[in-house]
Amino acid sequence: MRDVSPTADVLSISAEGLSFKELNDKLRATNATEIVINNAAGQRYIAAGAEGRRLTINGTPGNALAAYMDGAEIIVNGNAQDAVGDTMNDGRVIVHGSAGDALGYGMRGGLICVKGCSGYRTGIHMKQYQDKSPVIVIGESCGSFLGEYMAGGTIVVLGIGLRGQAPVGNFTGTGMHGGEIYIRSDEEPKNLPAQVSIDTASNLDDIRGHVRAFAQLFGCDADELLSGNFFVLRPNAKNPYHSLYTQYLR
Amino acid sequence: MGVYDFFPEYEVVRNDTTCVNCRVCERQCANGVHSYHPEITPARLLADSTQCVDCQRCVLLCPTKSLKIVQSNNTYKLNNNWTKKEINEIITQASTGGVLLSSMGNPEPYPIYFDKITINASQVTNPSIDPLREPMETRVYLGSKPEKLTRGPDGKLQSNLGPHLALAMPMLFSAMSYGSISYNAHESLARASEELGIFYNTGEGGLHENFYRYGKNTIVQVASGRFGVHKDYLYAGAAIEIKMGQGAKPGIGGHLPGKKIVDDISRTRMTPEGSDAISPAPHHDIYSIEDLSQLVYSLKETTAYTKPVIVKIAAVHNVAAIASGIARSGADIIALDGFRGGTGAAPTRIRDNVGIPIELALAAVDTRLRQEGIRERVGIIAGGGIRSSADIVKAVALGADAVYLGTAALLALGCHLCRACQTGKCNWGIATQEPDLVKRLNPNVGYKRLVNLMRAWQHEIMEIMGGMGINSIESLKGNRLMLRGVGLNETELGVLGLKHAGE
């Protein structure tokens, strides 16, 4: 991720009345590295493939925010919709609100932090590769199918405000074959599939930094968050389906 | 030789009087069929037919032509219901408890409509054209055509044409991933595409770093697992294909076993070594045409509207309605894949029982899009069962802009359709990642063979077009009056939009 110069001039764009294409054409046309979008009202594909800039979005960006993003920083002062960070390769997305379904689909690198909740299929197909390992931190809770087909990276769900109730829906980690999901909760998630093993996390070294970063972003007490009980979900076997097939030479 | 479940369907026959015990067959067979036995007298080579996949490698490399592989005449008691196939499948599954896994296209005896369609030729009134003497255009532009012309205030035409693929001939090599086929096979396809002015397709396996230089002849694929997909990859190709389905296994996804995710494959797919690469059939972010549209536009936005987007679907029952939705989703090109299309691995029952023939699907889609007045919004690529230049001409006349060729390209590279790709031990160096096997396919030879085949087919297409008095492939597109059905019933003729021969 390229650093954004703190002294760069800020370009301010009002999204009011603009279609997604008009708004994104403006973003493509500028070399500005520090951009504020005001009055975002559901425009899709903002920051698709973006790199080397910081966008602050006031309002509600539409679906597929930061798709294929490759090293930009996005700050959403509001809620985000579906498919945030689809196939994101690098960068940071910080949502000061909640986000919709399929957040971080196929994400390969970078960080997504959501202060509130995220919808179904958070982190589906997330994968790691060589030195790249994506991270998603959700403050409150996630819908069902969290980490479906997950092949790498780290998901942390903090369950803030849930008083120890499991902050995830059903079928967490269905088809999971890599990576780790940390869930701060006093009770085990419901309806876990056979491909997933669950343990009480004995140490939090892998996520301590992420939780502290989250706490700093959203003004929470990191020590209090880290003092809770965490479960860790991992794939039961690296290759969950290897015995399914038989060779048939016809 | 151990205990086996059933007598091999193909037997290796060696002529011991001409065999010189050179042991080439033993070295060439990755399945361990041939073995040399100095302990028997006279010392000689023996063959274990139970391991033979009938790839013909040993047969063709035997210097004294002492080997052949024959269909076994060992038989169960004949039964038209319980055939040898059905019985052997049950025995295999009772032994292993596994889902039967096969490869390449559906081999079952369904009707082949291409063989029941004939092509017209001019006589007397509309003279035929000699392609050796007259210009003949096989160039095709694939993409969305504007529905109307617009003029600026100065009265001049405004260009509102989106990005297109320009093909020197109406053929592309279909999606075959690095992983399912070898590095040398990919290099052969890439170099042939560059020389021919056509395109090959990465499949969902990423684009090897060495092949970015062939980007202008490359279609990059995005599927549900997003393997190898990143911004540079999307920009590297001439077009982006969203894979929704595959003719060989509609409704089934991809699953490259962890043991095949080695080194280079892992780097190119951007997935960890040794870990399965699972790409399920459903895109879990796509449940509607609107959702598909979102993926189409997220790719267009990411590449600043510089690349046409292809949506590939398997030919299934409601294909015409689905294609109509795709044409309205913002996609520039629809790729239809018939149930004869190949695969590196598919559950046998799916391959052999799911999907419909490409001829019917293509005709139904073209008809539907014309009826709805949206045919020009999209280009159509038809694949999955195209075997010759005559099939290509028929496909174009049924409504395709161009065709995808997969199996034909592999055959040009040395494949003998033994349908054992899923074992990863391809003796021809195509569907394997074992270095000793991969090097058997020399890309310097492979790409030339692909060029030979495509050039020959291009000329045959010109000959057939000339015979019809047509000098541009664009004039043949959807020109079904140039075709007639032979021995087809009224429903079949209706779906194909053809008259019967003699009408």
Name which of A68, A239, A248 is nearest B100 (Cβ-Cβ).
A248
B416 vs A7, more confident:
B416
Report how far residue B355's alpha carbon sits from residue B364's, in angstroms, rounded to the nearest whole number: 14
Asked if residue B320 is part of any domain, the answer here is yes
- Structure tokens of B128? 């035929």
Of A28, A70, A249, the CB nearest to B419: A249
Using the Cβ of B267 and the Cβ atoms of chain A, whether some distance falls under 8 Å is answered with yes
ipTM of the complex: 0.91
Q: What is the DSSP letter of A238?
A: S
Q: How far apart are CA B313 and CA B244, in angstroms?
A: 5
Q: Which domain, by its residues, includes B426?
A: 167-500
Mean pLDDT for B288-293 is 94
State which amino acid sits at residue A242. Answer: H
Interface contact B224-A125, CB threshold 8 A: yes
B251-263 pLDDT, tens digit per residue, is 888 777 777 787 8
Best CA proximity match to B12, nearest among B45, B44, B54, B40: B54
Both B89 and B172 in one domain: the answer is no
Q: What is the DSSP letter of B76?
A: P
Predicted confidence at residue B2, as pLDDT, reads: 47
Question: Are B284 and A175 in contact (CB < 8 Å)?
Answer: no
Determine whether the interchain pair B284/A20 forms a contact, defined as Cβ–Cβ distance below 8 Å.
Answer: no
Q: Is the dihedral of CA A207, A209, A215, A218 positive or negative?
A: negative
Contact map slice: B 380-399 vs A, CB within 8 A: none
A239 vs B420: CB contact, 8 Å cut-off? Answer: no
A197 is written with which tokens?
A: 């093993």
> Distance between CA atoms of B52 and B1, rounded to whole angstroms?
13
User: What is the rounded distance in angstroms from the CA atom of residue A191 to the CA atom of residue A168?
Assistant: 10
Question: Measured between CB atoms, which of A45, A121, A148 is closest to B298?
Answer: A45
Minimal CA separation from A138 to chain B, in Å: 20
Cβ within 8 Å, pair A129-B298: no
Which residues does chain A have within 8 Å of residue B95's beta carbon, measured at their own beta carbons?
A: 246
CB proximity B479 to A under 8 Å: no
pLDDT for position B248: 93
- Report chain B's mean pLDDT, rounded to a whole number: 94
Contact between residue B366 and residue B376 where contact means Cβ atoms under 8 Å apart? no
Q: Is residue B149 part of a domain?
A: no
Cα B398 to Cα A174, B314, B422: the distances in Å are: 43, 17, 33
Contacts with B310 (C-beta within 8 Å, 6 or more apart), sequence order: B219, B239, B240, B241, B242, B331, B332, B333, B334, B335, B381
B98 contact residues in A (CB cutoff 8 A): 243-246
- Residue B458, domain member (yes or no): yes
- Average pLDDT along chain A: 93
Mean pLDDT of A244-248: 80
Instruction: Determine the pLDDT at residue A83.
Output: 96
Cα–Cα distance between B111 and B113 in angstroms, integer? 6
Residue of A nearest to B227 (CA): A106
**Inter-chain residue contact B294 with A44, CB threshold 8 Å:** yes
Count of other CB atoms within 10 angstroms of residue B460: 16
By C-alpha distance, the chain B residue nearest A243 is B98
Domain boundaries of chain A, sorted by first residue: 10-235
CATH code, B36: 3.30.70.20
Assess whether B206 and B315 both reside in one domain. Answer: yes
Taking CB atoms and an 8 Å limit, are A45 and B302 in contact across chains?
Answer: yes
Entry field: residues in chain B = 503
**Position B277 pLDDT exceeds 90:** no
What does the block give as tokens for B162? 């989106």
**pLDDT classification of B86: cutoffs 50, 70, 90:** very high
Note whether A245 contacts B100, CB cutoff 8 Å: yes
Task: Give the Å distances, CA to CA, from B96 to A246, B61, B101.
Answer: 7, 34, 12
Q: What angle do CA B178, B182, B183 make, to 5 degrees?
A: 80
Distance CA B48, CA B37 (A): 13
Q: Cβ of B266 under 8 Å from any chain A Cβ?
A: yes
Whether B225 contacts chain A with CB within 8 A: yes
- Give the residue on A whose Cα is nearest the Cα of B93: A246
Rg (CA), chain A: 19
Each residue of B95-111: pLDDT tens digit?
999 999 999 999 999 99
pLDDT of residue A7: 56
% of chain A exceeding 90 in pLDDT: 86
Average pLDDT over residues A196-221: 95
Is B359 in a helix, a strand, or coil? helix
Q: Which residues contact B78 (CB under 8 A, 6 or more apart)?
A: none
pLDDT digits (tens, 9 = 90+) for A19-75: 999 999 999 999 999 999 999 999 999 999 999 999 999 999 999 999 999 999 999
Confidence of residue A238 (pLDDT cuts 50, 70, 90): low
Q: Do A125 and B102 touch (CB under 8 A)?
A: no
CA dist B261 and B97 (Å) reads 25
Can you tell me the distance from the alpha carbon of B372 to that of B438, in angstroms, rounded to the nearest whole number? 48
**Shared domain check, B274 and B399:** yes
Q: Is the pLDDT of residue B20 over 70?
A: yes
Return the percentage of chain A with pLDDT > 70, whole number: 94
Structure tokens, B378: 């999209």
> A241 pLDDT exceeds 70?
no
Answer whether A161's CB lies under 8 Å from A177's CB: no
Q: Which residues pair with A156 in a beta bridge?
A: A137, A182
- Comparing C-alpha atoms, which of B264, B276, B196, B203 is closest to residue B233? B203
SS (H, E, C) B85-105: HHHHHHHHHHHHCCEEEECCC
Could you read off the pLDDT of B195-239 as tens digits, one per residue?
999 999 999 889 999 999 999 999 999 999 899 999 999 999 999
- Does B88 lie in the same domain as B222? no
What percent of chain B stands above pLDDT 70? 99
The pLDDT value recorded for residue B258 is: 77
Q: Which residues, including other chains, have CB under 8 Å from residue A8's CB and lie 6 or more apart?
A: A32, A33, A34
Of the three residues B53, B83, B98, the one that is the final residue of a domain is B98
When divided into structural domains, chain B yields a total of 2
Distance from the Cα of B346 to chain A's closest Cα (Å) equals 10
- Of the three residues B44, B69, B98, the one that is the final residue of a domain is B98
> Band of the pLDDT at B1, cuts 50, 70, 90?
very low
Element (H, E) at B451: helix B443-468
Q: Where are the alpha helices (DSSP H) in chain A?
A: 20-29, 205-218, 222-226
pLDDT of residue B73: 95
Q: Is B224 on the interface with A (CB under 8 A)?
A: yes
**Whether A61 contacts A31, CB under 8 Å:** no
Instruction: Tell me whether B284 touches chain A (CB under 8 Å).
Output: yes
pLDDT at residue number B251: 87
**Percent share of chain B, pLDDT over 90:** 86
Q: Tell me whether residue B111 is in a domain.
A: no
Q: Which amino acid would we find at residue B310? A: I
> Do A130 and A105 meet the contact criterion of CB atoms below 8 Å apart?
no
pLDDT score recorded for residue B259: 75
What's the CA gap between B274 and B290, in Å, rounded? 36
For residue A151, the cross-strand partners are A178
C-alpha to C-alpha distance for A171 and B223, rounded to whole angstroms:
23
User: For the purposes of burial, counting CB atoms within 10 Å of the CB of B325, is it exposed (0-12), middle (13-18) or buried (19 or more)?
Assistant: middle
Q: Are B283 and B295 in contact (CB under 8 A)?
A: yes
**Measured between beta carbons, which residues in chain B are less than 8 angstroms from residue A118?**
none
Of B107, B226, B418, which is closest to A87 when you measure between CB atoms?
A: B226
Evaluate the omega torsion of the peptide bond into residue B42 and state whether it is cis, within 30 degrees of 0: yes
Decide if B145 touches A, using CB distance below 8 A: no
Which residue, of B98, B113, B131, is where some domain finishes? B98
On the question of pLDDT at A222 being above 50, the answer is: yes
Chain A: give the shortest CA distance to residue B123, in Å. Answer: 46
Q: Do B420 and A177 touch (CB under 8 A)?
A: no
Pairing of strands A54-60, A70-77: parallel
Q: Looking at the domain assignment, is residue B142 inside a domain?
A: no
Question: What CATH number should be reported for the domain whose range is A10-235?
Answer: 2.160.20.60
Any bridge partners for residue B111, and if so which? none
Degrees, nearest 5: CA angle B432-A125-A179: 90
Tokens of A218: 């959203």
Residue B420 forms part of a structural domain? yes
> Mean pLDDT throughout B449-468?
97
pLDDT digits (tens, 9 = 90+) for B22-59: 999 999 999 999 999 999 999 999 999 999 999 999 99
Task: Using DSSP bridges, classify how beta strands B402-405 and B379-383 pair: parallel, antiparallel or unpaired.
Answer: parallel
Contact indicator for A51, A27 with CB cutoff of 8 Å: no
Q: Is B92 on the interface with A (CB under 8 A)?
A: yes
**Model pLDDT for residues A112-164, shown as the tens digit of each residue:** 999 999 999 999 999 998 889 999 999 999 999 999 999 999 999 999 999 99
Statement: residue A245 has pLDDT above 90: no
Which residue type sits at B320? A
Residue B114 resides in a domain = no
Tell me, yes or no, whether B48 and B182 share the same domain: no
